[in-house]
Structures are given as structure tokens and as C-alpha cells.
Amino acid sequence: MTRTAADSYARLRAVRASKIRQFVTPEGVDLELKIASAGLRLGALTIDLMLILAVLIAFTLAMIWIGVSSGSDLSLMIWMLGAFVLRTFWFIGFELGARAATPGKRLMKIRVVARDGGRLTADAVVARNLIRELELFLPLMMVGTGAVEDMVSGWTATAGVLWSLTLSLFLLFNRDRMRMGDLIAGTWVVMAERAKLDADIAGAAVADAIAFSAAELSVYGIFELQELERVLRSREPRAMREVADAIRGKIGRPVAEEDDVFLLSYYRQLKARLERDLLFGKRREDKYASDG
């Protein structure tokens, strides 16, 4: 390898390493998260805004039709309320879901996580998205109002644009690529590791997305393995979330990946460990039994 190529490779490794954030569990297991780039986040926001605009256009046409048919001004009030709810709760509603990601984020394969490794809370999601009103929508409304109604001076409109740019570009000037909302809410936007949840769990040819230590696998037995398989086959998001949180709490892991990825990896490795122990005459019925 030439010196130039070696230098380029070293720089590439440094760039990649700069996006990695680590958790260390009480058991000493290192977990890594990759911070999503500003480009991916901009792409996700653009997709979400386009989808919001498409829904808003369809909603507007429906309200126009209703208003013309009924001859009432009530449709205008309904439109204003609907537009506000759509803009405000699009991001909050999707990020409160099991995937912690809007449609735009899902397409860009990124998601929101809590910086302390815990479950993403409703308070954090609401806080990070309400700040977006100050970062983006409020300045745009100021400019739009000035352009349409001539109520805002050119200087005020310019100030609104500069305010929006200052807050929106904040993520470019910190190594964690955090918006002001992320800083206040205690969140990161990271790459979302996904794994296909095969219908036949036992025969799934999916590589384990997460590695678990022997100590982490030793806390459960055959009964818990069977219960975990039942939950995986049901694919019920709430049940998967509760079981994933219970296992994470038991083994001391933070929330650093999606629940189905975590549970599938844990199931496959726990099953392999229990089968291996049976070959040596060791059978553990449940978490209350000792190995032997």
C-alpha cells in the first residue's frame, strides 16, 4: 500500500470512528452506535415534508369540496385545525411508535434513541419536536405572512430566516450531529440496524446482529426460551417491547437497537447455548434453576 493510499485509509477510518458512540454495560460489554450523518437527516426531513405536503393537498381539496357543497365557512376552520395537527403530530406520533422513526427516517434507515441508553420517552420525543417549531416552521410562517399580507418588514423576514438557519445548522457544528431539540431532549439520531424476522425462527438464516456474552446468556433457561419464541412468532409490537425491556434490564443493556433485532439475536444465541449445554448433560429449566 502506497503512503497516499495508507493516509487516505487512515483518514477514512478516523471519519468512521468519529461517528461511533459507545456504551459500556455493567458486565463490561461494549455497545456501539453509529451517528446518522447530516445528509441522511436532511434527506429524511425532506421526505417527511413532501409526505406532509401531499397529505395536506389531499386534505385541502377535500375541505374545498365540502365547503362548496355545504356553503359553510366551517370547512376553513376544520382545515386550519387539521393542518396544525398534521404538522405538529406527524413527527411526534411516528417517533413514539415502536420504530422511533418517521417514514422519512425509515427510508433513510435512521432512528431516534435516548443518549442514556434507556427507552425513548414521550417527554423526550415531544421536546425534540416542539423545538422544530422554533427551528423551522415558525420562521417560515413569519416569512410567509410577510409575503402574503405585507405585515412583516423585510428586515423582520430576514431575521426570521437567519434565526431558522442558525438553529437548523446547529447540528453541523457538533460532533454528535444533534439538533437543538436533540440537545434539550437528550437524544441521538443513529443508524438503525435491521434484521429480517423470519417466519421460521429456528431456521432463519439471518446473521446475529448483536453479540451477547456468556454471562448475559446464562440468566435464562428453557422456559424463558420457549416464551421468547412465542413472543417472536406473535410479532406483537407491545409484547416485544415489554419483553425486550425486561431482558435488557436483567442483563444490563441499554436500548441501542430495535426490539425485534435484539430479541431475535438473543433468542438464537440463547437457544444455541442451551443446546450446547444439553450435549454436556447440563439442563436449565428456567431462570430460577442453577446450571447443572
Return the DSSP state at 35: B
- Segment 234-259, tens digit of pLDDT: 788 888 888 888 898 888 888 777 88
Q: What is the pLDDT of residue 205?
A: 40
Q: What is the pLDDT of residue 58?
A: 92
Question: What's the whole-model pTM score?
Answer: 0.61
Return the DSSP state at 173: G
- Segment 213-231, tens digit of pLDDT: 888 888 888 878 888 888 8
**Domain residue spans of the chain:** 34-191, 201-279
Low-confidence ranges of the chain (pLDDT < 70): 1-19, 21-32, 117, 137-161, 163-165, 193-209, 279-281, 285-292
- Segment 194-209, tens digit of pLDDT: 544 444 454 444 445 6
Rg (Cα) of the chain, in Å, rounded? 24
- Segment 129-153, tens digit of pLDDT: 888 877 776 666 665 555 444 545 6
Q: Which residues contact 20 (CB under 8 A, 6 or more apart)?
A: 32, 33, 34, 35
Exposure b/e, 70-87, CB count within 10 A at least 16 = b: eeeeebeebbeebbeeeb
Q: Which residues contact 190 (CB under 8 A, 6 or more apart)?
A: 21, 33, 34, 35, 36, 110, 111, 113
Q: What is the pLDDT of residue 193?
A: 59
Q: What percent of the chain has pLDDT over 70?
A: 69
